[in-house]
Amino acid sequence: MTAEGDENYLTTAEVARRLQVKPETIYAYVSRGLLTSTRARGRRGSLFSAAEVERLASKSVDHSGVVERIESQLTLLLDDELYYRGHSARALATSLTVEQVANLLWTAQPPAPSPSRSTPNTAVGVFGVEREGVLLARAAMGVVPDGARLTDRLRVAVAVLGAADPLRFDLSTPSVTAAAGRLIGTLVTALPGPTIDPRTTPSATLGARLWPKLSDEAPRPEVLDAALILLADHGLAVSTVAARVAASARANLYAVISAGLGALDGQYHGAAPTLAYEFLQRAQQDPLKALSDQLRSGEPIPGFGHRIYQHRDPRAEVLLGLLGDHPIVGTIAAIAERTPTFPNSDLAIAAIMHAYNFRPDAGDALFALARMIGWTAHALEEYAAPALRFRAMGIYTGQTT
């Protein structure tokens, strides 16, 4: 979008002064859809509609609320692109390993590119495992009923592994990052299915280790590596806010992850990949009929459109690109050409699941494991901030005596 006249637009600095926030917070507002960034011909920088700024100011006079004061150096969503600590997520997903990107998010240290994505360098051993932890996680996962989802198994295992960690209340950065890597690596190893032991195959990325847990097809670990990277964080999604609030109370990492998993279990958040998977399953038989039936239901088309992205979801573009000319991509194209919206990451994950015969609950588990990386990074930011800083103002509306 381009601003034709500057008199009705404000610069980033002017908006920051009007709302009494830092310039970095303005970009957070853009990423959450609260403000729209525009460009003016012949000048650099973003401009913002004065009317839109005034509307936001009228609703947010007090910026001490629970959401308004969350500032982060982790993720930027701007102009339909995604960045981790200033690095394009597109580039990271196709050039680095999950281990390296986790290290970037957790420590802010830019990794040097590896000669091969299958040979991680600066983050070797990030997702290490210990035999006792794997046995404990498997025992915990085995308690749930046979028909339980993978995310149910993950949730139970996180709680049990936390209870077994005597040093879980050490909130120093080295301790938290070590615990996070060990937790994620242990969860992947403990999931039902064939196991690639990182102790005997140290070059295996997290995507390579996760693949046999989700599919019996010939492995394409680079696809899962890219998905884990692109889903690792997405700013202040509801599960991330839940994780940050828990961290603000100085909950340990396992409790923070549990808080995120709790929010992720909602039908409007973590269940999205499954809904897209089911829609795409119907669409493979007859794309037009599946679309027609969905439109008739009055419900949104699963896997299309996004609250923040306006024209494209960069995560979906990367992941669908990795599928090449697979027939599932043609099915998506047949639907997309008949809708005004665009495929999002949920649909891309669903497409991967169908392309490689993943188990039906794989999408939710993939999302949860990836987002644990981001929740850890957000927890580290909160541990460095004043404790208990989130207290929303409640307005009593009940009966008085």
**Residue 59 belongs to a domain with what CATH number?**
1.10.1660.10
Mark whether 60 and 135 lie in a shared domain.
no
The CATH number of whichever domain residue 305 belongs to comes to: 1.10.230.10
Strand arrangement, sheet containing 46-49? 2-3, 38-40, 46-49, 9-11
Is the separation of the CB atoms in 371 and 345 below 8 Å? Answer: no
In this structure, is residue 80 part of a structural domain?
no
Reading the block at residue 340, the tokens are 């005004």
Long-range contact set of residues 291-297: C-beta below 8 Å, sequence gap at least 24: 291/335, 291/338, 291/339
In this structure, is residue 237 part of a structural domain?
yes
Is the separation of the CB atoms in 3 and 10 below 8 Å? Answer: no
In this structure, is residue 393 part of a structural domain?
no
Query: What pLDDT score was predicted for residue 21?
Result: 83
Spatial separation of the C-alpha atoms in residues 40 and 172, rounded to whole Å: 45
* Residue range of the domain that includes 49: 2-71
Mark whether 47 and 193 lie in a shared domain.
no
Query: What pLDDT score was predicted for residue 68?
Result: 46
Non-local CB neighbours of 319 within 8 Å, separated by 6+ positions: 223, 226, 227, 230, 345, 348, 349, 351, 352
Mark whether 350 and 373 lie in a shared domain.
no
Mark whether 305 and 234 lie in a shared domain.
no
- How many angstroms separate the Cα of 80 from the Cα of each of 39, 180, 187, 312, 399? 14, 30, 32, 6, 47
Mark whether 252 and 371 lie in a shared domain.
yes
In this structure, is residue 144 part of a structural domain?
yes
Q: How many structural domains comprise the chain?
A: 3
pTM value > 0.75: yes
Spatial separation of the C-alpha atoms in residues 136 and 31, rounded to whole Å: 40
Mark whether 372 and 224 lie in a shared domain.
yes
The CATH number of whichever domain residue 135 belongs to comes to: 1.10.580.10
Mark whether 210 and 255 lie in a shared domain.
yes
Non-local CB neighbours of 366 within 8 Å, separated by 6+ positions: 210, 214, 224, 227, 228, 231, 273, 349
Mark whether 372 and 251 lie in a shared domain.
yes
In this structure, is residue 388 part of a structural domain?
no
Mark whether 253 and 152 lie in a shared domain.
yes
Query: What pLDDT score was predicted for residue 229?
Result: 98
Per-residue pLDDT of the chain (401 residues; tens, 9 = 90+): 444 445 688 898 889 888 888 887 888 788 777 888 887 666 677 898 888 888 888 765 444 443 446 889 999 999 999 999 999 999 999 999 999 999 999 999 887 655 455 444 433 478 989 999 999 999 999 999 988 999 999 999 999 999 999 999 999 999 999 999 999 999 999 999 998 878 778 888 999 999 999 999 999 999 999 999 999 999 999 999 999 999 999 999 999 999 999 998 877 666 788 888 999 999 988 899 989 988 888 888 888 989 889 999 999 999 999 999 999 999 999 999 998 899 999 999 999 999 999 999 999 999 999 999 999 999 999 999 888 888 776 777 888 87
Mark whether 235 and 368 lie in a shared domain.
yes
Beta strands in 36-91 (DSSP E): 38-40, 46-49, 75-78, 81-84, 87-88
